[in-house]
Structure 1
Amino acid sequence: MPLVRPSFRSISPPLRQAGRRSARLLPRAGLLAMLAALGGCAGFPGQQAQQAPESAFVILGEDGAPIARAITLAQACPAIEIDGRTSPMTVRAPWGAIPVRPLEDGGKRPAPASSTAVLSCETPIPAGSTRVAVAGQPLPLPKADKAYRRIVVIGDTGCRLKGKDFQECNDPHAYPFAHIAASAAAWKPDLVVHVGDFHYREDPCPADRPGCAGSPWGYNYDAWKADFFTPARTLLAAAPWIVARGNHETCSRGGQGWWRYLDPHAYAPQRSCDDPAMDVEADYTDPYAVPIGGDAQFIVFDSANTTYKGFKAGDVRLQKYAEAWRKMEALSRAARFNIAVDHHPLYAFGANRDAATGAITLFGGDAGLVQAFGAFGPRLLPSNIDVLLSGHVHLWEQTSFGSDHPTQFVAGFAGTAEDIVPLPAAVPPTVTPAPGALVEAMSSWIDGFGFMTMERTGPDAWHAVVHDRDGRARNTCEIKGRHSRCALAQVQGGGGR
């Protein structure tokens, strides 16, 4: 976007008169510098309104520190007002279109017809702040005492366009994320937790599929906007967010947008996912903790680049995830009750149906993480972790164990085309999702879109509700320590409009 030279008509009369007097005294270069300075002030309160950002929201990072983020089409960051004091936000990632990454085979992805250039900006929000606004738009603030009692959990929210699977992104019934986000916002949460997989529009919509016709696609801002920032608008305005990285946000997929827009860690060119040679750094981030009051905390860890196939000897991911485990273990000592957040379930089931026989086969947690974390013991996660929130499987699921394993919730049911192979109401004692895990209770909802909420009822107790797309309760669960029980073993029907 070209810079706009200010005109005298946009400047107040006293300044305009001063400018005319100065024009007779200053050389041309000095006059242009003065006009540029006056124009640069036009975005602050009391003067010309700023261009509204594309999106403005709050992410929680290490130790729960809130970070204001903004994405703008302008080439300068918007102003942020914090308790009456205004300053420009800091550039996180420079203005421009996301560059097309080389493929592993040396080729290039076809560039989408449109790839909008944007600027990503951020500002840490000081503790105790009571009012924060970006370009006049108020932002939701974290709880002053960090006691988050009402929490929304969502995941797998983008519209799938890839390979042979093309979701009808233009149909709000077939792709209901915007409606779900509005329903979740109406619940008035203190905090939103997204368990990963934001970006799904990877391939162009085929000409014979009117349900997704005209959709942006590729690993650029346009697809990110359609998949996340536009449909999530109401929920981004409702509360601060914790974001976990999914396999759709690895460097070879949507990682460039992930780093520019959402990751709470510091941005740097070598961790931008622009250069495949740097993926060994950019595909992994350190775990971090978010205190939620009452001697409890979330521990967020990045499982994006694991694989269900497992790792070969010498794979760098074995080392990376071992380092992550050790850091999680150290973080978990800081609180009595720990809820881990990642994308890949460790203690849940998925199901496959044989096309020829119709037989259903259950499969358990991610083989790569089981391999890497299993080196520390069969429990997989550190001993102080009580609950695991994940996504990846496109359904809602709960499992609890008679053995010493964390209770698992899967909330991958907020927008992406759903899994439709049913899970059983119970499993035989010999069937387990993880080494040594003895299932004592299980619940699931297949082929139903919605969101999950958690409301605190005690030091280590939560009341969880499974909502459909309209916000209606479809199941309830009680969490106590590392165990959970739900009212229904199976939720029937898709629900919602």
Structure 2
Amino acid sequence: MLLLVPCVLPTWSAAEVLFSWSQIVVDSKLSVRAVVPSGEACPDLYVDSQSVKMSTRADPEPGAFEDRVCESLLSPSSTPRVIRIGSRRLPDISARVGYNRRDGLARIVFVGDTGCRVSRLLEQDCKSPDKWPLRQVLSGISNQDPDLVVHVGDYLYREVECTDESKCDKRIYGDKSSTWAEDWLLPLQSVSDKLVFLFVRGNHESCNRAYKGWFRYLDAYPLSKQRYENCEKITDPWVLDLGHWDMGDVGFYVYDSSSSDEIFHRGSDVQSMRQKFLKGISSVRSSQMWLLTHRPLWAYWKYGMEYYGNVPQTRAIAEVMPEKFVAVVSGHVHFAQILSMRRDEHDKKGGGACSQQASGRACMKSITQIISGNGGAHLNAVKGEQPMAALSLPTRGGSVGAGLNKIAKSAYRSLALHGFVIDDVSTLGGFGFCRVDIPVNGEGHPVTQGKQAAVTFHGVGGEELRKFLVATTSPTGLRLNR
């Protein structure tokens, strides 16, 4: 006799979900987050049809944040899981890992500085997809089929009331839920069912700017009352071990540079930043490390004056950075750039001295600085060039640029480089993102021409603009693949 047993499907939560996504957080866990209206309870989360409780991460704050943020943490898994909130499926990084279909290649995309700038000096046209192309950039990223997307900081740019309503909405500005929705959460929804993210804090999320939204929605740590109400100026660094997700012996060291000044600093500031940086080094087990920090240690930009990077951060970190660090990935400057940096071992006063005693390990001798700060915010133009123009600059020899006298420029250059030399630099204008392909388990790959990592800059729609190869096992710097 055939016995018919009714199939019982899970009853999805009736809670109205405004936004949902999955992101990597401390301890290499997957955080599934959902935002619901202030009057709603947290929705049900289902993992392989099993109910998992979502708890409140952030309560509503009347007048500013008219929503509730919910969260559930999942440990790394070696098998793909089906994750759903209501009828919406969210990605699991174990299911996203695609190195098998790419023959041993892990693919990470970096994007940064994505919000629409509305300030007292400039009103970007937030209603024009050509002038603020964030959704197209995210679509282009999705088409790359990455295993992980890293946002290197600066999400909220609508900081003052808009005066031209043909470009932006007058009431949407400041650190509140409606602004976060327009500048990041709504665009995120277009790809959050396909992509897993890691978020880095930018200077637009510092304690005198949009810090509350940062801690509510995106921070990798549990939200405490102390951190939220008093604003934690510099959060502790943390490590994403890609090995937990079967993506190779590589670690991403996430460092909070949101509150660092650009040039001026006290000795105590440098010491505090160095202590923060070294705090998590002892826990690093990966043989290859990439530093993720919003403000670049090094850069080259000329607009009235020369900008060589973040002086306090360089003085605090570069001198003690262990040799297993092969690259720094940042945003902050609104274009795409890659620099090959070498320690000047003849400079015994600056970073060339290499403070091995402080880190307890041999110092790196060369490193690649990558800047991916062209995700949507108004682009930085190089003086004398249009924002869309590509730029290649000499970096040794005579001083260039104007606006500061030669002595001042020389002094700043010395402070910023601090015992390091720029061997090569390439800069690209226009909106876009950066893709990094890393060979898994140190095995060679045709895309990377061996054991190197391949860094590719892409335009808005994903078109490939320029490709570089970064050494990951020996201090030979980068080279341009023309």
- 3-state SS in 1 of match to 2:178: helix
Q: Residues 129-208 of structure 1 correspond to what in structure 2 (within 5 A)?
A: 130-143=81-94, 149-206=106-163, 208=164
**Aligned residue for 2:340?**
400
Are 1:428 and 2:428 matched, yes or no?
no
- Within the candidate set 20, 25, 35, 1:61 is matched to 25
For residue 387 of structure 1, give the secondary structure of its aligned residue in structure 2.
strand
Alignment of 1:225 with 2:161, yes or no, is no
Distance 1:49 1:121 in 2: 13
2:257 aligned to 303, 325, 346, which one?
Answer: 303
- For residues 394 and 18 of structure 2, the distance between their equivalents in structure 1, rounded to whole angstroms, comes to 46
SS of residue in 1 equivalent to 2:248: coil
Cα distance in 1, alignment partners of residues 165 and 10 from structure 2: 49
Structure-1 separation of matches of 2:379 and 2:86: 38
What letter is aligned with 2:274?
A
The letter of the residue matching 1:323 is: Q
Asked whether the 8 Å contact 1:429–1:438 carries over to 2, the reply is no
Instruction: Let me know the Cα RMSD of the aligned residues.
Output: 2.3
2:46 aligned residue (81, 90, 104):
81
Q: Is contact 2:395-2:424 (8 Å) kept?
A: no
Aligned to 1:415: 376
Q: Which runs of 5 or more structure 1 residues have no equivalent in the other structure?
A: 1-43, 100-114, 354-360, 489-497
Percent of residue pairs bearing the same amino acid type: 25
Q: Conserved in 2, the CA contact under 8 Å of 1:310 and 1:371?
A: no
Counterpart of 1:285 in structure 2 is 235
Answer yes or no: is the 8 Å Cα contact 2:298–2:369 preserved in 1: yes
Cα deviation for residue 263 of structure 1 reads 0.4
SS in 2 for 1:143: helix
Larger Rg: 1
Evaluate the alpha carbon distance shift between residue 48 and residue 304 of structure 1 in structure 2; reply closer, same or farther with a 3 A threshold: closer
| 1:117 maps onto 2:66 in alignment | yes
SS at match of 2:334: coil
Amino acid at match of 1:382: P
Aligned equivalents of 1:238, 1:48: Cα separation in 2: 20
TM-superposed deviation, 1:215: 5.9
Match of 1:126 in 2: 75
TM-score between both structures, scaled by the size of structure 1? 0.77
State the 4+ residue runs in structure 1 displaced beyond 4 angstroms: 44-49, 144-148, 429-433
Q: Structure 1 pair 365/328, CA: closer, same or farther in 2 (3 Å)?
A: farther
Deviations 1:308-356 (A, max 9, x none): 1322355xx4453122121243244x11110110101012212223xxx
Matched residue count: 407
With structure 2 as the length reference, what TM-score do the two structures score? 0.79
- Report the AA paired with residue 71 of structure 1: V
| TM-aligned CA distance change 1:267 to 1:203, over 3 Å | same
Deviation at 1:487, TM superposition (A): 3.7
| 2:454 is the counterpart of 1:463 | yes
Shift of 1:302: 0.6
1:352 is the counterpart of 2:298: no
Aligned-partner residue type, residue 437 of structure 1: F
Q: Which structure 2 residue ranges, 5 or more long, are not aligned?
A: 1-7, 100-104, 344-364, 386-390, 400-412, 443-450
Alignment of 1:203-352 (within 5 A): 203-206=160-163, 208=164, 210-214=166-170, 216-272=172-228, 274=229, 278-279=230-231, 282-292=232-242, 293-314=247-268, 317-332=269-284, 334-352=285-303
The change in CA–CA distance for 1:371 and 1:63 in structure 2 (over 3 A counts) is same
